[in-house]
Chains A and B, each alone.
Chain A
Amino acid sequence: MRRLDMRMNRLFALVAAMVVVLAACSSSGTSPSPSAAASAAPSAAASEAASAAPSSAAPSEAAKAEVRIGSDNFYESKLMAELYAQALEHAGYPVTRQFGLGSRQTRAPVFTKGLVDLVPEYVGSGLGYYDKTLVTGDGEANKTALQAQYDKADNLATVLAIAPGQDQNAAVVRGDTATSLNLTKMSDLAAVQDKLKWGLPPDCDKNPLCKDALESYGIKYPPKVRKALAACDAPIAQALQNKAIDFAWLCSTQPAIAQFGFKVLDDDKKTQPAENLAPVVRNDYLAKVDKAAFSAVLDAVSAKMTTDELTKLGVMVGVDNKDIGDVAKQWLTDNGLLN
């Protein structure tokens, strides 16, 4: 009997433990990210205020359907999504934030299946997701080609106007290297290639944007000294800053560039795809609203978003650890988009 009691006790303990673990897992799984939660509160209040005082009264409230905004799981995508969200809230659209949906590989299906209505997209990589061979160095051309892909996919979505700002693959050297070797553009690299330690991503051999691009500048591939480091990552930037490497592939708006005074070399042969940012909206959502009015809100944001602005905002979020909601609100206010 005693044995049985003990067994029962153990069983209860096990079940209790599993319940606790399951509860912990499920709550962490469904709760939104801290930044999303933090920014959701004030902006929800803002949207209430906006709808309470319908000053810009033109379309009826019914035409302002709720919009679910998603983003990738990194600061710049979240920041753009938050900018869109606050601008739309200001214009009276109810917004649900579903930020941090992973990388494009996981986020794209979420969008395709209609779980979110609007996402920020880089037109080059967004197009590359469908067909790498179509990507060009021209932002408008990439936008048009990406739109064609969505049209082909059952008229899925509309790519709104692109921002001048883009987050592009950037060939970067330290400020002191640029000065001492007189480097300003990628064409300058071939002559000094053996003096540099190259930080190249592990897929460089097979990546036309890496190997082929370097070769088009007359750089012999592979260079004598190379280190395999993922592009746009923190380690490659730290390695560059500390002279473990002299050349790195970063992203043009990466905060480290401004933070450590790196020099971005001009891609004078336009080997890298244009990566202008644009909002992509599902057509089934656009059918529920006044499309022109909805687009106008986002176009106004895109028009002001240059690469410099993106970089500045990136430093605030990525280096100074400011809240994305606050940074977005300040930027929209400064640019007269919340008046």
Chain B
Amino acid sequence: MPDIIGWLSDPINWSGDQGIPARLIEHLQICLLAVGAATAIGLPVGLYVGHTGRHAGLAINLANIGRAVPSYALMVGILPIALTLAPTIGYDPDLGLTFLPLFLAMTLLAIPPILVATYAGLREVDRDLIEAGRGMGLTERQILGRLEVPLAVPVIIGGFRTSTLQVIATATIGAILSFGGLGRFIVDGLANRDDAMLFGGAVLVTVLALLVDGVLAVVQHVLTPRALRGKPAPRRPSDDDEDRIDPAMFGVRTADVST
């Protein structure tokens, strides 16, 4: 059994530009950027296909490529492109080695859960409710903003949580291409046969992922409309877009509808 606690409590490992805090910041930076970029792409596309129902199959299948291809293969496959791209767009070749391949691979990994959850969240909104909104003269934009999105928020944030969790855990592979982050401990631990460092790094990544997920769970709860609270929010979007809205939110007792 490697001395993980000894490694984690050694002050040397908590100082300097190769210490745990520095690596933690690098790790959070890349995760934040990747999930941010994935949200900027996945959320609007998810809202569009979810609201209109158009091109849904295409968008979701396209996004799922990011899930199907192993992130490591994606990153190493992107490397030659990123290496030539970086100087072409005026950056140091360094960027094409350490940052770009990992960033792009993590973004592609983060898009599908967000896109699919947004789509599924919107499709789960009761069709009758949307028709009622149209009948009341709401514009499409208002239907999206006032009806669909608020009702879909728990599901959308669920996708966001899945996405963040995956990226935090997977961004460790960046260390293979000399990126920093917490993966450094795992890759260096493996290379140096330093099991305490290897498992210590793995513990750090796990703890970070759980902490961030906990914070997002609170955010999810706060942003969920009051009427939808009190039941566990779905973590993963389901494929069927049947009516899942709780009638209780409209003041209807369950007993009234289920008979």
A residues engaging B (CB < 8 A)?
197, 199, 201-203, 205-206, 227-230, 234-235, 238-239, 241-245
- B191 contacts A244, CB within 8 Å? no
Partner among B79, B84, B86, B184 whose Cβ is within 8 Å of the Cβ of A235: B79
Distance between Cα atoms of A196 and B84 in the complex (Å): 19
Q: Which residues of B contact A199 (CB under 8 A)?
A: 178
Partner among B86, B96, B97, B176 whose Cβ is within 8 Å of the Cβ of A230: B176
B94 within 8 A of A: yes
Which secondary structure dominates where chain B touches chain A?
A: helix
- B178 contacts A227, CB within 8 Å? yes
- B178 contacts A242, CB within 8 Å? no
Q: Mark B77-119, 1 if CB is under 8 A from A, else 0.
A: 0011001101100000110111000000000000000000000
Q: Which residues of B contact A206 (CB under 8 A)?
A: 192
Q: Which residues of B contact A230 (CB under 8 A)?
A: 176, 191
- A203 contacts B175, CB within 8 Å? no
Q: Which residues of B contact A228 (CB under 8 A)?
A: 175, 178, 184, 187-188
Distance in Å from the Cβ of B1 to the closest Cβ of chain A? Answer: 21
Given A228-B178, A229-B177: A242 in contact with B96 (beta carbons within 8 A): yes
B residues engaging A (CB < 8 A)?
76, 79-80, 83-84, 86-87, 93-94, 96-98, 175-178, 184, 187-188, 190-192
Give the nearest-CB partner of B194 in chain A.
Answer: A206
- B192 contacts A244, CB within 8 Å? no
- A239 contacts B83, CB within 8 Å? yes
Give the nearest-CB partner of A230 in chain B.
Answer: B176
Q: Which residues of A contact B76 (CB under 8 A)?
A: 234-235
Distance between Cα atoms of A197 and B79 in the complex (Å): 18
Partner among A202, A227, A239, A242 whose Cβ is within 8 Å of the Cβ of B192: A202
Distance between Cα atoms of A197 and B98 in the complex (Å): 13
Distance in Å from the Cβ of B155 to the closest Cβ of chain A? Answer: 28
Partner among A197, A235, A238, A242 whose Cβ is within 8 Å of the Cβ of B176: A235
- B191 contacts A242, CB within 8 Å? no
Distance between Cα atoms of A202 and B193 in the complex (Å): 11
Distance between Cα atoms of A201 and B192 in the complex (Å): 10
Which one of B97, B187, B188 has the highest number of Cβ atoms from chain A below 10 Å of its Cβ?
B97
Partner among B79, B86, B94, B188 whose Cβ is within 8 Å of the Cβ of A202: B188
- B191 contacts A227, CB within 8 Å? no
Q: Which residues of A contact B188 (CB under 8 A)?
A: 202-203, 228
Distance in Å from the Cβ of B99 to the closest Cβ of chain A? Answer: 11
